[in-house]
Structure 1
Amino acid sequence: MSDVLKRLAATIEARKGADPASSHTAALLAKGPAKCAEKFGEEAVEAIIEAVQGNREKLTYEAADVLYHLTVMLAAQGVALDDVLAELERREGRSGIAEKAAR
């Protein structure tokens, strides 16, 4: 399931050096990490709205935008998707209550 996310992360990484005029991803990255984070937040809010309204089709579309913009934000900060996936694997099988208590 994560193969598509890994391909997305690789594409985003490849776009870092692209001309912002020819690549939406390059244009986002050129605006810096703060703008990438802002855009991620906007997309997350849109997904929340669709979830609350119960519109599965629009939620699916917005969730894809959230994953894309999350991956762009990670790239802008130099955080590898593999590191995030490794953290999820580390947490797998742990109670959320125990995880929060360990912080």
Structure 2
Amino acid sequence: MSAWVAVLTASVVAFAFKVAGYTVPPRFLEQPRVLRVTEMLPAALLASLVVLQTFSTGSHLALDARAAGLAVAVVALLLRAPFIVVVILAAVTAALLRIAGWP
């Protein structure tokens, strides 16, 4: 199977899921349990992506400069720093630690 067939198949499946989402009856979406899940799902997905990108290298767990950058970002967020400042602080922290020789 070529890569294009896989890409086109995945695109068709994604589009079918999107169209199927429009056919869900509104009364199902208004249930309290569904509302709670849909409110928390984006935060959970974002948190899982951050953890995966920060603490993994390939198929191995890693504790390196990215973790320190994340820690600095969390502290900056707790201090209510603007988002751009948070990103810059995290990037500078990770860069300085890598320059210093930390993996």
Q: Which has the higher contact order (CA 8 A, sep 6+)?
A: 1
TM-score after normalising by structure 1: 0.30
TM-score after normalising by structure 2: 0.30
